[in-house]
Structure 1
Amino acid sequence: MPDDLTVPVPVEFFPAAGEKLPQHWSKCFGCGDDQPAGMAMSFKAGEGLEVTGRLEVAKKYQGGPGVIHGGILSTAFDEVQGVACMVLGTPVVTGHLEIDFARPIPLGSVLEFRARVEGTVRRKVYTSAEAVIVEGPAADPDVIVGTSRGLFLTITAEHFAKTQEFVDGVPTSPFGTSSV
């Protein structure tokens, strides 16, 4: 993390801790409710700059025999950290994402992710997250099965202007890319 991080304050309209967070785009692969092939993740506001997310590890997410595919876990970490950036009240895109896979995650598990904004430097938003298994095989909410750090960049609605004709979906939230 850079030495000159500024710790932001959540925007006034960010939901209170424990409240469900809206999806940012109906066709989002990670959280969109109008994305039948997607992951159907759900999120809640946490304390301060934190959010939590849940993912049911379905059979279709299999990588190695009986365990989640690393790309699915990476997508989930990307999604939850991007959602954490909603505390800023401005859309973001992923600039860099690193994942540490700590343990195998069996199919049939329910993962809980905890993500937070660590700080900002101009347009850069630094995040971190971890995942635990809260239900299913190998459930132990005290054992971290994966961690991640992210760098997100704040953008304006013009960022997606060039791809507007290809947009499929409906903006569903005052956060994220819904400003397009």
Structure 2
Amino acid sequence: MAAGDAPAGDDAFSARYYNQICFACGDRNPHGLHLKFRRDGEAAVVATFVPREVDQGFPGVLHGGILAALVDEAMAWSMWAADRALGVTAKMEMRYRKPVSPDGPLTVRGRVTRARGRRFEVEARLEDASGDVLVEASALFLRLPAEEEARMAVSIGWADADS
């Protein structure tokens, strides 16, 4: 999937979600990752990422910060898939299992494992084309307080969003 293309199908999120400046998913950020998520079950999401040359740290290895951004974003989108919740990362733990090559597409998956009040426990993983897990993450996200969440949803164009 080319950068900027929204995934098709009933499980895809509306293209309106991407008309923002977000580094990880926003179409209006020329330097961003341009992730496009689709539902992968009730409280889970998945996206494909095609690395760019500029995403490397050492030659031939993707930068760890880019990898962290990928899984962080998947976990945030899983909150929206589960409960139309907008939140922020409170604590994240990463396990980099293998160096990640910039060659070929990667799949990032995120899911909510537990939600209680404003607290969402989430996890994500990054896989190569053969399904090998390259990065794992778990995190605690905090849902924005209701008034702030409503204001943020309006500011990014997600208020009264359809899916």
Specify the structure having the higher radius of gyration (Cα). Answer: 1
Q: CA deviation at 1:156?
A: 3.1
Read off the aligned partner of 2:13 and give its amino acid letter: L
What stretches of structure 2 of length at least 5 have no aligned partner?
1-8
Q: CA deviation at 1:125?
A: 0.2
| Structure 2 residue corresponding to 1:72, chosen from 66, 80, 105 | 66
Distance of aligned partners of 1:38 and 1:79 in 2 relative to their CA distance in 1, 3 Å threshold: same
Tell me the percent identity: 25
Q: After superposition, give the CA deviation of every residue in 1:33-69 in whole Å (9 maximum; x if it has no partner).
A: 1110101111100111111122111101011121100
Q: After superposition, give the CA deviation of every residue in 1:81-108 in whole Å (9 maximum; x if it has no partner).
A: 0000002112111111111101111113
Read off the aligned partner of 1:71 and give its amino acid letter: G
SS in 1 for 2:42: coil
Q: After superposition, give the CA deviation of every residue in 1:121-174 in whole Å (9 maximum; x if it has no partner).
A: 22110001111112xxxxx12x1111000111011364489xx9xx9xx62334
Alignment pair present for 1:101 and 2:90? no
Distance of aligned partners of 1:147 and 1:59 in 2 relative to their CA distance in 1, 3 Å threshold: same
| Structure 2 residue corresponding to 1:117, chosen from 102, 112, 121 | 112
The separation in 2 between residues aligned to 1:153 and 1:105, in whole angstroms, is 29
SS in 1 for 2:128: strand
| Structure 2 residue corresponding to 1:39, chosen from 27, 33, 37 | 33
How well do the aligned residues superpose, as a CA RMSD in angstroms?
2.5
The separation in 1 between residues aligned to 2:93 and 2:146, in whole angstroms, is 26
Distance of aligned partners of 1:64 and 1:28 in 2 relative to their CA distance in 1, 3 Å threshold: same
SS in 2 for 1:80: helix
Distance of aligned partners of 1:82 and 1:25 in 2 relative to their CA distance in 1, 3 Å threshold: farther
Distance of aligned partners of 1:175 and 1:81 in 2 relative to their CA distance in 1, 3 Å threshold: farther
**1:137-176 correspondence runs (5 A):** 140-141=130-131, 143-156=132-145, 158-159=147-148, 171-174=156-159
SS in 2 for 1:63: coil
How many residues align? The count is 148
8 Å CA contact retained: 2:86, 2:149: no
Q: TM-score scaled by structure 1?
A: 0.74
The separation in 1 between residues aligned to 2:10 and 2:63, in whole angstroms, is 29
What stretches of structure 1 of length at least 5 have no aligned partner?
1-16, 135-139
